[in-house]
Amino acid sequence: MAYYEPIRELDEAPLIEPGSRLHDITEDISRVSETKAPPGWWIAFSLALCGVGLFVASVGYLFWRGIGVWGNSAPVYWAWDITNFVWWVGIGHAGTLISAVLFLFRQKWRTAINRFAEAMTIFAVICALIFPGIHVGRPWLLFYVFPIPNQMSIWPNFKSPLLWDVFAVSTYFTVSLMFWFVGLIPDIATLRDRSAGKIRRTVYGVLALGWRGSNRHWQNYERAYMILAAISTPLVLSVHSVVSFDFATSVIPGWHTTIFPPYFVAGAIFSGFAMVMTVLLIARTVFKLHRVVLMRHLELMCKVILTTGMLVGYAYGMEFFVAWYSGNEYERYVFVNRAFGPYAWAYWTMVGCNVLTPQVFWFKSMRQSIPVMFVVSILVNIGMWFERFVIIVTSLHRDFLPSSWGMFSPTVIDLTTYIGTIGVFFTLFLLFMRWLPMVAMAEVKGTMAQADPHYHEPSEHGHHAHEVHKAHGDASAPSKGLAPEGA
């Protein structure tokens, strides 16, 4: 028994389809960008492009007419746009969780999905940033949020959680982008070395930065990767905590609670894993990645969804308990109103999608059924959208004075802007899947048995555990006899 073999006593299973060679991984992943896109890709891409068209039209109309084309109005000034912002930022968090936190915990199964998830993070944060960018009302004055001298010779107020958010989300975006690119370098080099055409060779060549797999480079590279993982871990926890400060530091009943930071982070991971699963299931089917993305990976993701789903369920319950226990009648009213008021339908949709549906993953047959996973992942995405809607709208629409109570109803432009960002997200994602290695090849290879210097390929020689010098390559490898002249 060697260390590269799964430990049966611990119920471990291989991370790659057994019998795969290193070259198979290169082939499976690189092939996607080297051959014509399958029809499924074109269908998805045209749909996504329609979404982009819708987005451009909605935002264009909004800029033409003004922010009033959205439904934000007294008393609900934070409405769909902030709901969408929080939803998208949250989705991004699973990417960092998978790439950084699971890396630190040596969860090797992450290598099958981390590239995906990191790409998802970046595109989700791009979609997220659109909303506050427009929400400020005068997007051309957005630079006021940055500490740069402006015509009013006034500086940003660093005591405002909204400003903390600017720093948190922009740092998050920058760090995620760098982390993603650093991970991509060796894989882009693989594509470069396989490319036939001049354009491909030039583009991938430039992006690969001249990577030559040097061990002197790997040493610093691995250290950089580990440090990035180590600093991204507190970063990702801080980002959604800071997003929750936007709410929690205000004195609005329903927002002013200390449970918000961990509750938001758990929800972010929950929704992010659901989104990774949605996208991964599509990509796995369209691009036939069954060798790398095994049922085992999907099953593990189901378990994460189940766990985080129960964490948010706990948070929902705890919010009610604290509202009652606080003895504050405004706080109590907000929660009663959430569950039984005019927006009760939204509340129970949220509970149904986020707390009840993931419970099917208690059963192994459900964790292994692709249709079930797909439906649950979509429902969780919907549920998490409603969670943010419930937090924002139900807390605002009836505040301290009944005279200022009101209802929020979205406009068509609200809806089309939101659908449009989904189009933007999927357009970016589909382009990424088509042109960049969507599975971290170098990392997957690093988890294979062949990566272990003590690996001994099963051969007819029998048990020569230490005779690793023997030529025992596969049939296609050049045999030892004809190689080095002058021996």
Partner 1 sequence: MLTKADTRVVEGPPKRVALLLAEYDTAAEVMHAAERVRDAGYSKWDTHTPFPIHGMDRAMGLADSRLGWIVLCGALTGLTAAFTMMYWMNGVDYRIVIGGKPPDTIPSMVPVLFELTILFSAFAAVFGMFYMNKLPRHNHPVFESDRFAKATDDKFFLSIESDDPRFDLKATRKLLVASHATQVEVVEEEEE
Closest listed residue to residue 270, CA positions, set 369, 354, 349, 392 = 354
171 touches partner 1 (CB under 8 A):
yes
Q: Is the dihedral of CA 213, 214, 217, 222 positive or negative?
A: positive
Binder to partner 1 among 213, 317, 342, 406 (CB under 8 A)? 213
Alpha carbons within 13 A on the beta-carbon side of 129: 17
Q: 301, 273 in Cβ contact below 8 A?
A: yes
Q: Which stretch binds partner 1 (CB under 8 A): 178-186, 257-265, 323-331, 424-432?
A: 178-186
Binder to partner 1 among 221, 273, 335, 425 (CB under 8 A)? 221
Q: What tokens were used for 194?
A: 């396989």
Minimum distance from residue 169 beta carbon to partner 1 (Å): 9
Q: What tokens were used for 182?
A: 């650093």
Minimum distance from residue 326 beta carbon to partner 1 (Å): 22
2 touches partner 1 (CB under 8 A):
no
Cβ neighbours of residue 387 closer than 8 Å, sequence gap 6 or more: 267, 312, 350, 354
Question: In terms of DSSP H, where are the helices of 390-459?
Answer: 395-397, 412-435, 441-447
Q: Which stretch binds partner 1 (CB under 8 A): 271-279, 339-347, 361-369, 468-476?
A: 468-476
Q: What tokens were used for 317?
A: 């319950």
Cβ neighbours of residue 361 closer than 8 Å, sequence gap 6 or more: 302, 303, 305, 306, 367, 376
Give the nearer residue to partner 1 in terms of CB position, either 155 or 362. Answer: 155
442 touches partner 1 (CB under 8 A):
yes
186 touches partner 1 (CB under 8 A):
yes
245 touches partner 1 (CB under 8 A):
yes
167 touches partner 1 (CB under 8 A):
yes
Range 286-345, binding partner 1 (CB under 8 A): none
Binder to partner 1 among 65, 212, 288, 290 (CB under 8 A)? 212
Q: Which stretch binds partner 1 (CB under 8 A): 48-56, 129-137, 352-360, 476-484?
A: 476-484
450 touches partner 1 (CB under 8 A):
yes
Minimum distance from residue 451 beta carbon to partner 1 (Å): 6
Give the nearer residue to partner 1 in terms of CB position, either 26 or 377. Answer: 26
CA distance 194 to 202: 12
Cβ neighbours of residue 46 closer than 8 Å, sequence gap 6 or more: none
Q: What is the DSSP letter of 206?
A: H
Give the residues across from 73 on adjacent strands: 76
Q: What tokens were used for 126?
A: 């791009």
Would you call 164 helix, strand, or coil by DSSP? helix
Q: 330, 400 in Cβ contact below 8 A?
A: yes
**Where do we find the tokens 């979205």?**
410
Q: 380, 358 in Cβ contact below 8 A?
A: yes
Minimum distance from residue 149 beta carbon to partner 1 (Å): 10
Minimum distance from residue 210 beta carbon to partner 1 (Å): 4
Range 91-130, binding partner 1 (CB under 8 A): none
Binder to partner 1 among 72, 84, 99, 238 (CB under 8 A)? 238
234 touches partner 1 (CB under 8 A):
yes
Binder to partner 1 among 215, 258, 365, 403 (CB under 8 A)? 215
258 touches partner 1 (CB under 8 A):
no
Q: Which stretch binds partner 1 (CB under 8 A): 5-13, 41-49, 267-275, 479-487?
A: 479-487
180 touches partner 1 (CB under 8 A):
no
146 touches partner 1 (CB under 8 A):
no
154 touches partner 1 (CB under 8 A):
yes
**Where do we find the tokens 């929020």?**
408
Q: What are phi and psi of 245, to 5 degrees?
A: -65, -30
CA distance 64 to 55: 14
142 touches partner 1 (CB under 8 A):
no
Write the single-letter amino acid at 453: P
Q: What tokens were used for 241?
A: 């905590």
Minimum distance from residue 475 beta carbon to partner 1 (Å): 12
Give the nearer residue to partner 1 in terms of CB position, either 260 or 426. Answer: 260
Binding-site size for partner 1 (CB under 8 A) equals 83
**Where do we find the tokens 């189009």?**
423
402 touches partner 1 (CB under 8 A):
no
Q: Which stretch binds partner 1 (CB under 8 A): 33-41, 69-77, 101-109, 477-485?
A: 477-485
Range 26-55, binding partner 1 (CB under 8 A): 26
DSSP-assigned states of every residue in 41-106:
HHHHHHHHHHHHHHHHHHHHHHHHH-GGGS--BTTB-S-HHHHHHHHHHHHHHHHHIIIIIHHHTT
Cβ neighbours of residue 142 closer than 8 Å, sequence gap 6 or more: 133, 136
346 touches partner 1 (CB under 8 A):
no
Any idea how long the chain is?
487
Give the nearer residue to partner 1 in terms of CB position, either 159 or 403. Answer: 159
Minimum distance from residue 269 beta carbon to partner 1 (Å): 19
Binder to partner 1 among 42, 451, 459, 461 (CB under 8 A)? 451
